[in-house]
Amino acid sequence: MNRKSVIAAVGLICIGIIFGVVLVSGLKTVDVGFAGNRQQVKLETQSNSSKNSLDLKSTSDGFVAIAKKLTPTVVGVTVTTKAKQGSKDFNDFFHFFGPDFKLPQPGPEQGSGSGVIITPSGYILTNNHVVENADKNGIEVRLNDTRRLTAKLVGTDPTTDLAVLKVEATDLPAAALGNSDDLEVGQWVLAIGNPFGYLNSTVTAGIVSYVGRTIGMKRDLYGIEDFIQTDAAINPGNSGGALVNMNGEVVGINTAIATRTGGYEGYGFAIPMNLAKTVAEDLINTGEVHRGYLGVMIQPVDATVAKANGLDKAQGVLVGTVQEGSAAGAAGVKEGDIIFAVDGKEVNQPNELQSLIARKHPGDEVSLTIYRDGKRFEKKVILKQRKTKEETVASSDEGTEESSGVDASSQTMKFENLGLTVKKLTADVKEKAKADNGVQVAEVKTFSEAYNRGLQPNDVIVEADRRKITSLNDLKRVVESHKPGDAVMLRVKDQAGNARFVAVQIPKEQG
């Protein structure tokens, strides 16, 4: 190779190196745009400044300390009951834990559960369903130190599924009771109890999965559901045991599980301690619960209900019915009001309001934050005692004839965009619904707006946008006064005479 060729080759190599350096330095940005609409996107490694270091040794030591402190405060409860016809089957999807181990043949039955010692003098908190129907002297408590003591039933509260027992003993290890209102989803909790009646003093760990859960297990109209949901493993026999936070405080009484098999599947539910404390104090002091009542029927506020009331988001709970002579009625609470808060604490589900009121007593004053006609204001309410029998709320509307604009021969009217057909109110439906005015739902088209909002045939629409409906044309005028996308608030009565509000949204035309 001659000298000129060598020089040329070296030159080419230098040019290649320089080009490579320029090319690499030019790749600081990556073009990911489409042809004709290119966009420069710079991809950089993001530092995670929010990393949380977990000291596993300290966490483990914390679990150990809590288990040692709380395990002696949790007892086993064995209950002997008389055999009865039609006893409850506990193999439902939402499953009360006990009693377990029922004998198949006629005769006495025996079940087991758990309980939490709440005073050194021997008061024990457990579930009503663990001890209900117990024989006289049929409740035995098994302490952590292996002592077995006969327990007296102090009182029960089926509304919250709680009960208090008493054993004759002193200087018992009592649990520290925590503030369940401070619980947040994601917090560590321990469950302590006696699963299956023989795995005594079992401790499991998990997190708070949800707070304020309703699971549909109410045993009566006034049943209160405001459960703490957890994935700490709990099983039959844990009922009445302790749900404990990382401060070593009992924040809930374990009560139920969601299961298809009858055993643990990852979903357990506990009664919040703030509610349980109020019930326990009443039962210990007086033998019964003295619970304050507002005297309202309430329902959730969703996005459509919010829109119908001029709210920009779903919040609060809607008052469907105010009972005659109730505390709410005396204070001026009205049907259609939306309650935002109780004593400054926000409520966005009916069970949240129920739980807060359930901690109060007759004669207590509560402050309600109310929204009505676009205005927000406070109302002071003095709670009353619940009547022993449920009162029927009669309509105060006076019956009127249909307006003169209605064709007397027309018996029905269709609202195609809502999937709703209504007709004149018949005498039998009028009587059943206890409605003095309104129009009757004749048909509801499947999967229509009316169907999705829960309207059913023979419901009676008595109001629309707070206006009394006395004819088909009354309803037509209200609906036609709204444009697509608007929501209309209907007040509806069912065939049992129960009133509720239903918000329907006028569908937008499909383009």
Contact between 83 and 145 under an 8 Å Cβ cutoff? The reply is: no
Annotated catalytic, 290?
A: no
Helices (H), 38-197: 56-70, 128-131
Annotated catalytic, 373?
A: no
Beta strand pairing status for 30-31 and 40-41?
A: antiparallel
- DSSP letter at 197 equals G
Contact between 463 and 440 under an 8 Å Cβ cutoff? The reply is: no
Contact between 474 and 464 under an 8 Å Cβ cutoff? The reply is: yes
379: closest CA among 351, 339, 348, 326?
Answer: 339
Annotated catalytic, 129?
A: yes
Give Cα 334 distance to the centre of its chain: 24
Q: Cα 315–320–326 angle (5° rounding)?
A: 115
182: closest CA among 280, 278, 249?
Answer: 249
Angstrom distance (rounded) from CA 49 to CA 288: 54
The phi and psi torsions of 211 (rounded to 5 degrees) equal: -125, 145
Residues ≥6 apart with Cβ < 8 Å to 457: 441, 442, 443, 444
For residue 99, say if its preceding peptide bond is cis, omega within 30 degrees of 0. yes
**Strand partners of residue 276:** none
First to last CA, the chain: 78
Secondary structure of residue 301 in the 3-state scheme: coil
Catalytic residue among 112, 114, 209, 239, which?
239
141: closest CA among 129, 128, 155, 126?
Answer: 126
Catalytic residue among 100, 157, 161, 226, which?
161
Angstrom distance (rounded) from CA 163 to CA 185: 27
Catalytic residue among 100, 114, 129, 282, which?
129
Q: Which residues are catalytic?
A: 129, 161, 239
